[in-house]
């Protein structure tokens, strides 16, 4: 139960950090409206920004080289980075890892010590099967809810 409670706290921290990241100011050194979407969401503003077209990689490379501290090369072209350190995410990752250790190790021990020797491998296999089914359900929910995840994470509500 301690491991599950720590996992819940970890998800709470991740949600809180996402709210803080979204509300944090953008990286300094870039124009405040460069690369933002129009009010109707139809496209990027006409202020200078990386080309959304894949036909001009040289222009994009030069733009990112000139603005390497402002724009993400992993996000939708023109998405400006938040001034929120990614290292804050170490807290929820550490807590999730601690919670998994406090959950999985006792389950492995229980599967080994509480089952007859002939069924120990079967008990381990059932535990791993249940874990795999949980991962598949996570993938199914992620796919089903993908329409709510936007290209620009500042427009979404991941928390």
How many Cβ atoms sit within 10 Å of the Cβ of residue 130?
A: 11
Tell me the whole-structure pTM to 2 decimals.
0.61
Tokens of 4: 């599950």
Q: Is residue 115 part of a domain?
A: no
Return the residue matching tokens 């509300």. Answer: 23
Return the residue matching tokens 């598949």. Answer: 136
How far lies 40's CA from each of 44, 105, 122, 140, in Å?
10, 51, 57, 31
Q: Is residue 67 part of a domain?
A: yes
Q: Can you tell me whether residue 37 is helix, strand or coil?
A: strand
Over residues 64-119, the pLDDT tens digits come to 666 666 666 666 666 777 778 889 889 999 999 999 999 988 888 888 888 999 99
Nearest Cα to Cα of residue 71 among 54, 55, 52 = 52
Return the higher-pLDDT residue of 150 and 77. Answer: 150
Q: Is residue 120 part of a domain?
A: no
Angle CA 82–99–21, to nearest 5: 10
Q: Is residue 43 part of a domain?
A: yes
Q: Is residue 61 part of a domain?
A: yes
Q: Can you tell me whether residue 39 is helix, strand or coil?
A: coil
**How many domains, in total, are found in the chain?**
1
Q: Is residue 23 part of a domain?
A: no
Q: Is residue 92 part of a domain?
A: no
Q: Are 3 and 16 in contact (CB under 8 A)?
A: no
Over residues 4-35, the pLDDT tens digits come to 999 999 999 999 998 898 888 887 656 544 44
The range of the structural domain enclosing residue 33 comes to: 29-82
Return the higher-pLDDT residue of 105 and 58. Answer: 105
Q: Is residue 62 part of a domain?
A: yes
- DSSP percent split of the chain into helix, strand, coil, nearest 5: 60, 5, 35
């Amino acid at each position: 139960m301690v491991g599950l409670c720590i996992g819940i706290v970890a998800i709470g921290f991740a949600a809180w950090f996402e709210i803080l990241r979204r509300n944090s100011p953008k990286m300094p050194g870039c124009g405040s409206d460069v690369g933002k979407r129009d009010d109707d969401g139809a496209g990027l503003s006409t202020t200078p920004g990386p080309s959304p077209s894949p036909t001009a990689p040289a222009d994009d490379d030069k733009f990112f080289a000139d603005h390497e501290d402002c724009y993400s090369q992993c996000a939708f072209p023109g998405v400006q980075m938040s001034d929120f350190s990614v290292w804050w995410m170490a807290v929820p990752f550490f807590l999730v890892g601690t919670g998994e250790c406090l959950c999985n190790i006792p389950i492995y021990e229980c599967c080994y010590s509480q089952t007859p020797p002939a069924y120990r491998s079967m008990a381990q296999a059932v535990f791993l099967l249940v874990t795999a089914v949980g991962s598949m359900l996570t993938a199914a929910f992620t796919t089903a809810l993908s329409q709510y995840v936007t290209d620009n994470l500042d427009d979404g509500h991941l928390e």
